[in-house]
């Protein structure tokens, strides 16, 4: 039995990485014998011109499509159900998503609903999907969420005001066309927030109780790349090498957390984002160093490796000093890229904390956090982040 407990699985889509990858959308849709494609995107992606490019690749293959773009920044369950209805009405048999985490998560939700014929909120948790979803081809336009390579779908339950996590290899996309060119249209703050989101993915994957040799290498390399290249990217937004580096880091962090799962930062961010409708990357950024301080004693050697990946010399230093150096580096990195808000400056009040903590305590991401945390301990972390 102990040998079985040490086994690790690793799931990933077919990945095409590099400038121009987006232009293969039509070719891959044709390979999947697409009858009609549902393209899931949002208004920002349409304005940036990326939808038009993808549509042209489908036209070259004579594949008709229907666009569903009614997707919020935090995709709502009602939006997923409307998208599923349009998928059926349009007689589609394949889904392409072009966008950041919100359109991609919404696309996953649509695929779940049309194949399993139930409400999207019924699938909260781990491995609740019985039937395979339609083929998914994802083209990310941000470098952070990694929904294009992960087995996670995060959907906002608008009635309960909480984000739910759906975790299943069924929602790992069939193909990820990861093209750094698509990130040129992100503004600087979105670049910063999604970059720190990827950093949090890597942190949590590396200290997760589900981590292993198949995920560790991706997590540490993602941390190295983000620590080195995200700050200069903020001052040189048109630098193709830096864009590619952060997109690669996002991909590697995604492969790590998809397989090792996450931890308390994400559990708390899901609660925060669902309750107050705040951007996910920003929620993660405001919580990271506080969760590191809470977890540190339970994963000191792992955090030491993370510190080393962030260019902190740890030789001869006590765990307490390494912890201090690491949390200071996190805070300084956030300042370097322009993330300075706290929960209080973003409108969170003391009266919100008990509700936030109660919801976070039920999140499945807590299962692999290196230290057990109940609602009172999560409330204390929220207060520290105020």
> What pLDDT shows up at residue 3?
57
Q: What is the pLDDT of residues 194-219, one digit of tens each?
A: 999 999 999 999 999 999 999 999 99
pLDDT band at 159 (very low <50, low <70, confident <90, very high): confident
- Treating both helix axes as pointing N-terminal to C-terminal, what angle do 264-276 and 188-207 enclose, rounded to 10 degrees? 140
Query: How large is the average pLDDT for residues 11-28?
Result: 97
**Residue 4 pLDDT greater than 60, yes or no:** no
Distance, CA of 253 to CA of 347 (rounded, Å): 29
Number of domains comprising the chain: 2
CATH number at residue 66: 3.40.50.1970
Q: Please report, rounded to a whole number, the percentage of residues in the chain having pLDDT higher than 70.
A: 99
- Please give the pLDDT value at position 303: 98
Question: Looking at per-residue confidence, does 258 or 5 come out higher?
Answer: 258
Does residue 6 have a pLDDT over 80?
no
Least confident window among 224-238, 263-277, 317-331: 263-277
Same domain as 261, residue 169: no
Instruction: Supply the pLDDT for residue 93.
Output: 97
Average pLDDT over residues 36-56: 96
Encode pLDDT of 164-176 as tens digits. 889 999 999 999 9
Q: What percent of the chain has pLDDT over 90?
A: 89
Which positions ≥6 away from 380 have C-beta within 8 Å?
none
Q: How far is CA 21 from CA 101, 178, 215, 260, 372, in A?
A: 18, 6, 25, 27, 41
Same domain? For 139 and 260 the reply is no
Q: pLDDT tens across 347-380, in order?
A: 899 999 999 999 999 999 999 999 999 999 999 9
Give the count of beta carbons closer than 10 Å to the beta carbon of residue 69: 18
Give 248-264 pLDDT, tens digit per residue: 999 999 999 999 999 99
- Amino acid 7: pLDDT: 78
**What is the CATH number for 192?**
1.20.1090.10
Judged against a pLDDT cut of 90, whether residue 182 lies above it is answered with: yes
Would you say residue 112 has pLDDT above 60?
yes
Residues 98 and 205 in one domain: no
Phi, psi of 312 (to 5 degrees): -100, 125
Nearest C-alpha neighbor of 230 from the set 337, 338, 339, 310: 337
Mean pLDDT value of segment 145-153: 94
Q: Of the candidates 183, 214, 238, which is a domain's last residue?
A: 183
Q: What is the mean pLDDT of residues 35-62?
A: 96
- The per-residue pLDDT for range 58-107, each reduced to its tens digit, is 999 999 999 999 999 889 999 999 999 999 999 999 999 999 999 999 99
pLDDT of residue 119: 97
pLDDT at 1 over 80: no
Report which DSSP code applies to 159.
Answer: T
Confidence of residue 5 (pLDDT cuts 50, 70, 90): low
Q: Identify the domain boundary among 134, 160, 183.
A: 183
Q: How confident is the model at residue 150 (pLDDT cuts 50, 70, 90)?
A: very high
Both 89 and 204 in a single domain? no
Residue 223 sits in the same domain as residue 162: no
pLDDT at 136: 98
Residues 24 and 59 grouped into a single domain: yes
**55-to-42, 70, 148, 329 alpha-carbon distances in Å:** 14, 17, 19, 43
Are residue 165 and residue 253 in the same domain, yes or no?
A: no
pTM of the model: 0.95
Q: Are residues 158 and 267 in the same domain?
A: no
The residue range of the domain holding 224 is 186-384
Q: Are residue 157 and residue 282 in the same domain, yes or no? A: no
**Same structural domain, 88 and 194:** no
Where does the pLDDT of residue 8 fall: very low under 50, low under 70, confident under 90, or very high at 90 and above?
Answer: confident
């Amino acid at each position: 039995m102990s040998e079985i407990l040490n086994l690790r699985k690793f799931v990933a889509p077919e990945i095409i990485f590099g400038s121009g990858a987006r232009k293969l959308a039509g070719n891959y849709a044709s390979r999947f014998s697409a009858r009609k494609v549902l393209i899931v995107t949002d208004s920002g992606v349409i304005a940036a011109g990326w939808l038009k490019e993808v549509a042209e690749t489908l036209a070259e293959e004579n594949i008709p499509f229907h666009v569903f773009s009614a997707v919020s920044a935090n995709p709502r369950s009602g939006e997923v159900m409307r998208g599923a209805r349009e998928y059926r009405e349009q007689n589609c048999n394949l889904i392409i998503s072009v966008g950041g985490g919100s359109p991609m998560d919404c696309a996953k939700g649509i695929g779940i609903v049309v194949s399993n014929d139930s409400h999207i909120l019924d699938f909260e948790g781990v491995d609740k999907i019985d039937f395979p979803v339609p083929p998914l081809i994802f083209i990310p336009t941000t470098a952070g969420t990694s929904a294009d390579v992960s087995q996670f779908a995060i959907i906002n339950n608008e009635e309960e005001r909480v984000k739910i996590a759906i975790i299943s290899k069924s929602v790992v996309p069939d193909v990820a066309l990861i093209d750094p060119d698509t990130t040129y249209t992100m503004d600087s703050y979105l670049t910063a927030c999604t970059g720190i989101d990827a950093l949090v993915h890597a942190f949590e994957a590396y200290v997760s109780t589900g981590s292993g040799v198949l995920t560790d290498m991706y997590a540490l390399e993602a941390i190295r790349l983000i620590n080195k290249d995200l700050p200069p990217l903020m001052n040189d937004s048109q630098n193709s090498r830096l864009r590619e580096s952060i997109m690669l880091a996002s991909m590697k962090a995604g492969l790590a957390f998809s397989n090792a799962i996450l931890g308390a930062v994400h559990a708390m961010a899901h609660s925060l984002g669902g309750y107050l409708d705040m951007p996910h990357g920003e929620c993660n950024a405001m919580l990271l160093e506080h969760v590191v301080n809470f977890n540190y004693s339970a994963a000191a050697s792992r955090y030491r490796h993370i510190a080393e990946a962030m260019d902190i010399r740890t030789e001869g230093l006590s765990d307490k000093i390494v912890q201090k150096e690491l949390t200071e580096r996190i805070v300084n990195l956030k300042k370097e890229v322009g993330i300075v808000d706290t929960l209080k400056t973003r409108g969170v009040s003391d009266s919100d904390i008990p509700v936030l903590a109660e919801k976070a305590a039920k999140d499945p991401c807590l299962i692999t956090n290196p230290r057990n945390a109940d609602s009172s301990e999560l409330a204390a972390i929220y207060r520290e982040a105020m």
